[in-house]
Structure 1
Amino acid sequence: MMATAQRSIIPPQSLIWGLLLANGFLIALMLALAKAATSQGMPAMTYAFWQTLIAGAVLLVCAGKRRSLLAPRLSRYFLISGLTGIAIPNAIGFYLVTKLGAGFTGIMYALPPIFTFLLAAGLGLEKRSWIKLAGLSIAVVACAWIVLQRHSEISSPNALWFAMGLLIPAMLSIGNVYRSVAWPSGVKPMILASGTLLASSATLGLFAGLTRTSIFPETTGLQLVSIVGVQGLLTALTYLCAFELQRRSNPVFYSQLGAVAAMFGLLIGVIWFNERYSVGIWLGALVVILGLRISNRTKPTSPEI
């Protein structure tokens, strides 16, 4: 009876939206910390490696049944989930944040919803809904508008940076669908988050070796070490929340996490880094929120699996 009462304190819908907002804020904060570290000379690949290694180790220590990480059936899940959801998009994001700013890079994390929706609908994981498609389309078009506005504000922009940025939503969309389709039964979110983060750190370490990127930069000082340590703890909390959100929602609802992170990213960019955005960018941000609001005008049970 007590357990039932505890479960009823927070309605399922409120819990899901709370996880979405908290997770979006944590992702935006992670990008801000990444900019603070990489702008001091730490390579993006190195930063992403230590971020995921520390976070995965923290969750591993806190998790029970650690031996389940070695289960053969989970190896492929950890590898694919780690590459598509963490290693590739984060390494690119941490590199671009020093080139294009925290706010703009955060926008790249807002683009996956419509691609995730199309993938999920094609696989039969999501019911076809014109309202949802219209809302997500409005949000993505608004994000594209922000990209164009930001492009015009950057002096001597490099087209390759923007092309690299598009790999972030592409990888995240694939990862969103894969994690739901291949979700291992009977495994706790903390174990899945830990294994995915550790698999990501292993692949990033391999990439660093292949590209001759130092894992222990000589310029690393106490301040950088502190930032990396805080980032590792934040990342552990972020991905624990992320896997819990994915367990409670479907791929399309989960993919809206990026848009929430993008909005927080704009605010953090202004408050922390004194980044300045035009009226057009702020109007685009409002349209993103409007589009997401429209896309969620479905039955209350739609976010639940």
Structure 2
Amino acid sequence: MSGSTRQGMTKGKKAWLIPVLCLIVGGGLTGISTNLAKFAGEIGLTPLAFLFWSITGAAFILSSYALLRHELPPLSKSTLSYYLVAALVSVAGSNLIFFSAIPHVGAGFVALIISLPPLLTYLAAIILKIERFTKLRALGVVAALAGAGVLAARKFAAPDASMFWIGLALCGPVLLAIGNIYRSLYWPDNLSPSALVPGMLIAASVLLGLVGLMPHFSLAVPMTEILPLVLIVVQAFVFAGQFLLLFLLQKTGGPVLLSLLGSVGAVVGVPVAIFLQGESPPEGLFLGASLIALGVVLVTYGGVKMAKSVSDKR
């Protein structure tokens, strides 16, 4: 084997290693985040306060990282609008929904439905004609949505079910899917993830801060114990890693690997909620999770086949 061939194989392996690591670590952080939000509610932190201070901390961490790399978020009319819209749908709105719903529907249920956004993203991409229709991937979307339907139906049927919170929780994946499409369509030219993420998180912090100024909302943190402050710091680092890896995965791995992010989060988040937080397994867990997993596999396999077909034609 020639030296150039070996070098090419090494580069190919490294090219795949980065997105795969982003997928595993980023998905794991997503699953951990839902459980930290549940614990925060148990020690007196409101969802808005916990989210605001954690996002603000993550923005500071990643802004410092960007400063060290000389990649501070650029400020222009187009980038400011990008930060604001991405912050609203990908960070502030969706996470405020999830964090608020967790005390009412459970961290395990939220961890499971977080696996849906990439599948909804594919559905939106078909509607917007960003991606062509294939039967295999469409079947995957149907299977995953059926799985979510099973979980939601069992939740609604529970004696203590809160229709409002279950319905609101299911709106979170829709916002995340909108965010996936928006970030892909309007990604500013020649800008790296480490330059974009701090701008998005700063915008999210501003939006959440404005919500905190409204009546009946508060950003106050209980100061009688140190545990709430420690938890906010931990969540800030989790958010910093989660969103940086999300952008890196979107840039380096493309939509096929991105579609697995929520599933990895569910694999981590659901067992943590059941075994460490003492939650009961969501009703219909086996059937619902199996259908969602089947959907992810079909959508991913269909994407691999489509990518291979495109490369063969070149």
Partner of 1:210: 214
Kept in 2, the 8 Å contact 1:78–1:199? The answer is: yes
Q: Which moved more, 1:284-293 or 1:87-96?
A: 284-293
Deviations 1:240-280 (A, max 9, x none): 10000111244565244223323322111112112222683
Kept in 2, the 8 Å contact 1:176–1:251? The answer is: no
Kept in 1, the 8 Å contact 2:259–2:296? The answer is: no
Partner of 1:86: 91
Q: How far apart in 1 are the matches of 2:82 and 2:26?
A: 22
Q: Return the match for 1:110 from 112, 115, 118.
A: 115
Partner of 2:78: 73
TM-score (norm 1): 0.90
Partner of 1:38: 41
Q: How far apart in 2 are the matches of 1:15 and 1:150?
A: 38
Q: Return the match for 1:230 from 222, 227, 234.
A: 234
Letter in 1 for 2:276: W
Are 2:64 and 1:61 equivalent residues in the alignment? Answer: yes
Kept in 1, the 8 Å contact 2:155–2:161? The answer is: no
Shift of the alpha carbon at 1:38?
1.6
Q: Percent identity, please.
A: 26
Q: Which moved more, 1:20-29 or 1:96-105?
A: 20-29
Shift of the alpha carbon at 1:62?
0.7
Are 2:266 and 1:248 equivalent residues in the alignment? Answer: no
Partner of 2:142: 137
Kept in 2, the 8 Å contact 1:180–1:251? The answer is: no
Structure 1: 5+ residue stretches without partners? none
Compared with structure 1, are the counterparts of its residues 239 and 215 closer, same or farther at alpha carbon in structure 2 (3 Å cutoff)? same
Q: Which moved more, 1:73-82 or 1:112-121?
A: 112-121
Partner of 1:201: 205
SS in 1 for 2:33: helix
Are 2:174 and 1:162 equivalent residues in the alignment? Answer: no
Structure 2: 5+ residue stretches without partners? none
Partner of 2:157: 152
Q: How far apart in 2 are the matches of 1:92 and 1:145?
A: 21
TM-score (norm 2): 0.87
Provide the aligned C-alpha RMSD in A: 2.6
Deviations 1:136-195 (A, max 9, x none): 211221122122223434x42211101211220111111010000001111110111111
Kept in 2, the 8 Å contact 1:51–1:231? The answer is: yes
Are 2:50 and 1:47 equivalent residues in the alignment? Answer: yes
Q: Report runs of 4+ in structure 1 exceeding 6 Å deviation.
A: 1-5
Q: Return the match for 1:291 from 291, 295, 299.
A: 295
Shift of the alpha carbon at 1:283?
3.2
Aligned positions, number: 303
Q: How far apart in 2 are the matches of 1:129 and 1:253?
A: 18
Letter in 2 for 1:115: L
Kept in 2, the 8 Å contact 1:38–1:95? The answer is: no
Shift of the alpha carbon at 1:219?
5.0
Deviations 1:191-241 (A, max 9, x none): 111111111011000011114422233456200100110110111011110
Shift of the alpha carbon at 1:289?
1.5
